[in-house]
Amino acid sequence: MPEMKSEDHQRLDELYERLRDEARRSVGYPANAAFDYAPLSRFLGLPLNNVGDPYVPSTYHVGTREFEREVLEFFSELTHAPSNGTWGYVTSGGTEGNLYGLYLARELHPDGMVYCSEETHYSVSKSLGVLGMRHIMIKSTAGGQIDLEDFAETVRIHRDVPPIVMANVGTTMKEAVDDIPAIRRILKGLAITRSYLHCDAALSGMILPFLDGAPPFDFAAGADSLSISGHKMIGSPVPCGVVLARRKNVDRVARSVEYVGSLDTTLTGSRSGFAPLVLWLAIRKHGREGFRRIVRNCLETAAYAVERLRDAGVEAWRHPHAVTVVFPAPERQVTEKWQIAVNEGTAHILAMPHVTRERVDELVADIRAGGNP
Ligand SMILES: *Cc1c(COP(=O)(O)O)cnc(C)c1O
């Protein structure tokens, strides 16, 4: 291999310093920056690829399927999946998991109608377009949940086609969780026999299982599939996630491909063999108890941020189960410096594991200074 040029060395050094500084100040996005996967660095020297189905061996052997299956096992237990009754894979992120859930729903119910709320992640409408699925947008409440009255009324009018519900388990702006048991009750009350429910649990899928009395969202609550991001709560140097679905549904659409000797059940062909190692190491290091502690800390920091902001005269609030703190958008200098996303005049910060009380204090001081620190 040729040596790297010294000017390129320098550019990478500069980039690294800048990114490390930015990561430290990042409070507006759900990306945990507090992780250490150093034991995995040597795997970057291998052409890892988990092409195809994680449960079916491939003729390409440089992969981490066995570890991927352990990751899936962990998430299956976490989400009360029926034992041996679910299938899934490590995705490139929450978006792919949602796309997969919708794809499966479409294969099962080609005549189905998708329902999702106004607060649904922006990527979902693109996925619906890609899949060519008909959909109806349902109103959401001030707290960000799907409006159940509007939902029930709209489904009632379209009773002749199977409803496919894209439920939010932690909306992007307010971390609101749709009332999954109520959605199921509504479908039952309308005597609907064919339906599908996918949970977009990108962020909250790694929060709610660790809280007592949290809103139910998983397979036990009536989900047919769910998608959770790996780079959000857990934290990862590469975007990743997990999708899980009921196996009996997956089996109806699977097909085999001779070229890779595996089943072409996943959306993409080649898949990261590195991401499963990241998730596996995090799971082995923290375990359920570790994640419970991490989540509890984040919620305490979020509660602290609400208090400090309110002390500063800012009308901040959050859902009791949420690490997302919602408040009116501050000055542009503040949102720029702290990488805070703004939507229709509303801003939020996320108390991810790397967001300390000191960071919150610094941010609140900047807001008090009115964007002129
Ligand atoms: C982040 C997010 C997504 C997209 O997940 P990616 O991992 O970024 O692809 C989808 N839905 C919600 C609610 C999210 O917060």
HEC-encoded secondary structure of the chain: CCCCCHHHHHHHHHHHHHHHHHHHHCCCCCCCCCCCCHHHHHHHHCCCCCCCCCCCCCCCCCCCHHHHHHHHHHHHHHCCCCCCCEEEEEECCHHHHHHHHHHHHHHHCCCCEEEEECCCCHHHHHHHHHHCCCEEEECECCCCCECHHHHHHHHHHCCCCCEEEEEEECCCCCCCECCHHHHHHHHHHCCCCCCEEEEECCCHHHCHHHCCCCCCCCHHHCCCEEEEECCCCCCCCCCCEEEEEEHHHHHCCCCEECCCCEECCCCCCCCCCCHHHHHHHHHHHHHHHHHHHHHHHHHHHHHHHHHHHHHCCCCCECCCCCCEEEEECCCHHHHHHHCCCEECCEEEEECCCCCCHHHHHHHHHHHHCCCCC
Closest ligand 1 atom to Cα of 171: 13
Closest ligand 1 atom to Cα of 241: 7
For residue 260, is pLDDT > 90?
no
- With CA atoms as reference, report the closest residue to 294 among 361, 207, 222: 207
Between 198 and 343, the higher pLDDT residue: 198
The whole-number pLDDT of residue 373 equals 44
- With CA atoms as reference, report the closest residue to 75 among 238, 199, 244, 196: 244
Q: Which residue is closest in CA terms to ligand 1's atom 15? A: 172
CA dihedral 37, 39, 73, 86 (to 10 degrees): 70
The whole-number pLDDT of residue 2 equals 86
pLDDT-derived band of residue 243, with 50, 70 and 90 as boundaries?
very high
Closest ligand 1 atom to Cα of 120: 13
Pocket test for ligand 1, best of 123, 169, 198 (most atoms within 8 A of CB): 123
Ligand 1 centroid to Cα of residue 167, in Å, is 13
- With CA atoms as reference, report the closest residue to 354 among 235, 241, 263: 235
**Neighbouring C-alpha atoms within 13 Å toward the C-beta of 41:** 3
Pocket test for ligand 1, best of 90, 95, 242, 267 (most atoms within 8 A of CB): 95
Ligand 1 centroid to Cα of residue 116, in Å, is 15
For residue 257, is pLDDT > 90?
no
| Beta strand 135-138 pairing with 163-168 | unpaired
What's the whole-number average pLDDT of the chain?
A: 95
Distance, in Å, from the CA atom of 321 to the CA atom of 207, rounded to the nearest integer, reads: 8
The whole-number pLDDT of residue 252 equals 85
> pLDDT tens-digit profile of 195-238?
999 999 999 999 999 999 999 999 999 999 999 999 999 999 99
What residues flank ligand 1, with Cβ below 6 Å? 30, 93-95, 121, 123, 170-172, 200, 202-203, 229, 239, 241
Ligand 1 centroid to Cα of residue 202, in Å, is 5
For residue 177, is pLDDT > 50?
yes
Distance, in Å, from the CA atom of 297 to the CA atom of 294, rounded to the nearest integer, reads: 5
> pLDDT tens-digit profile of 274-312?
999 999 999 999 999 999 999 999 999 999 999 999 999
pTM of the model: 0.95
